[in-house]
Amino acid sequence: MVSFLSRLRVYLQRAEQWYLTTPDRALDEAYDAALMIQALENEHFGGQKISPNHSQVGQETYAYFEQELNKHLKTIRLRLSEFRLSRSTLNVTNPKADRQLPQSGSGESYSTPPESGRLVRPSKERTAISLEKLQFVDQILARYQVSRGNVSTALVPLDAPTTPYGSPATPPRSGNLPINNYNGSANLSGSANLSAQILADQQARTARKSDTLSNLETISDKTGVLPRSILGTIGRLKQELDPNAEYEVMQDFQVKRQRTKMAIRFILTLVAVPILVQVSVRNVALSDRFIPGHWISRQFTITNPNKIFLNGEMTEQALKSLTTFEERMKFETLLRETLGLEAPEVEAQEEKVRDRVKAIAKDYSHRSANAIKNWIADLSGVIAFIFILTRGQAQIEAVKGFIDEIVYGLSDSAKAFIIILFTDVFVGFHSPHGWEVILEGVSEHLGIPPSRNFIFLFIATFPVILDTIFKYWIFRYLNRISPSAVATYKEMNE
């Protein structure tokens, strides 16, 4: 037993050491990948970035170097993500992690962990070295980012387009804001800064082009002197004749693709994380195997009859269940006497009633404890949901644009179908029954006695408010953006 405990202690110490050194290990791997890129540049491209313009090698040879470059860039980005995530996790779970790293002697001494061959330096020196490595990685990444205000996900930057006269095309006026413009603090800020920069870049791009005719046909446009279709056609012709049109289209596509990916990731995070938090808290943290869940269950044990039932509604349900059981036993007894069969003894019937009372008490004690646990778990999920919303303002804007593109990009019949389906389910003449079932289920889940007055008041007001919002949206926005969809909706609704 002693040897097993000692080995377990060693394993735990090694696991803790691996956890504490994760940021340094991830940064070292990113730094090594950046060194590999620099070695390729120095050996085969004269110290310039890896590009066909800086080398005389053949196409197949350059394809090999390009694959190596993409592999090292992918490693750098993955390890930087691991570096940011592990540092943020350590700051929350173990703010004194630097002090727990193995160090010997004075503050200038070094030590070597058993799992790696790298020296673990004192905290101040490690911080300075980490900043130097981050700056070097930044320099490597900056060479392979399109230095424009728009976002590009290409690992190797696209060559600047040329005009029909053979001279390089002048890029649109914008601030040089590359997507991965890391610095010492940006490396630790996570994806929020990236998302904010993407939105800022697109807003700046839209503002620069507001004086052109290509942006006249938008969702929020007002009616002008000429039809918007004519102005839009003129704008498209002007854009197609622009020497920079191909480059503009490519950049717009890259921005939209990046925004779409951001919106989908944020929607999945917004849905999955609160659910996982709620399920984890309810089924793991508040289970009877741990102290909080066991303590809550003990508060409603049958040894304390005054705390078995969480509310009066549960008491009435338990009495009704017991009354039904007794009436069934009485009916069976009378039936056997009528048929001339031997009736069960009174003591046996009383014993069955006591067993039934005990089973009912256990069942409702579990229900009461589960209601309290559901409150805590649901509150944890709501807190996680609000936390994600407050930390993702830029992603929310991306989701709004993504939803607008989907909704307004549907056909007129599809728009009308979705509106009718949604309104009939939530505000139709048969929706009160669905709202009643939902409210009763929520009340039972939280252990709250359902109030018929509240349910009827909710059904009488909330669907009406939803219906008013739908009608206002149709009148204010949809009628101006897609009159044909409104006409289709009216015909289908009639």
Whole-number pLDDT of residue 172: 40
Nearest Cα residue to 29 out of 81, 88, 68, 65 = 81
DSSP for 464-483, written as a single string: HHHHHHHHHHIIIIIHHH-H
Encode pLDDT of 50-73 as tens digits.
887 766 677 777 788 888 888 889
Strand partners, 162: 168
Using CA atoms, how far apart are residues 338 and 454, in angstroms rounded to an integer?
Answer: 49
Whole-number pLDDT of residue 376: 93
| Residue 108, both tokens | 């200038």
- Return averaged pLDDT per consecutive 10 residues of the chain, 494 residues in all: 69 79 87 89 82 73 83 89 80 58 45 46 71 87 61 40 40 37 39 49 51 41 54 72 74 83 90 93 89 87 80 87 91 86 82 90 90 92 92 85 82 86 83 88 87 88 89 84 83 77
Question: Which residues, including other chains, have CB under 8 Å from residue 361's CB and lie 6 or more apart?
Answer: 302, 305, 308, 318
Distances (CA, A) of 480 to 120, 218, 226, 470: 65, 11, 16, 15
Whole-number pLDDT of residue 109: 42
Encode pLDDT of 4-20 as tens digits.
677 777 877 787 787 78
Question: Which residues, including other chains, have CB under 8 Å from residue 459's CB and lie 6 or more apart?
Answer: 432, 435, 436
Using CA atoms, how far apart are residues 443 and 317, in angstroms rounded to an integer?
Answer: 14
Strand partners, 111: 120
- Whole-structure pTM over 0.85, yes or no? no
Residues 395, 266 contacting (CB under 8 angstroms): yes
Whole-number pLDDT of residue 203: 54
Burial class (CB in 10 A: 0-12, 13-18, 19+), 407: middle
Using CA atoms, how far apart are residues 416 and 330, in angstroms rounded to an integer?
Answer: 59
- Encode burial over 196-208: b for 16+ CB neighbours within 10 A, e otherwise: bbbbebbebbeee
SS3 assignment for 235-291: HHHHHHHCCCHHHHHHHHHHHHHHHHHHHHHHHHHHHHHHHHHHHHHHHHHCCCCCH
Q: Within 10 Å of residue 270's Cβ, how many Cβ atoms?
A: 17
Strand partners, 120: 111
| Helix, strand, coil percentages in the chain from 3-state DSSP, rounded to 5 | 70, 0, 25
Using CA atoms, how far apart are residues 361 and 194, in angstroms rounded to an integer?
Answer: 56
DSSP for 89-155, written as a single string: HHHHH-TTHHHHS---SSTT--B--SS-SS-B--HHHHHHHHHHHHHHHHHHHHHTS--SSS----S
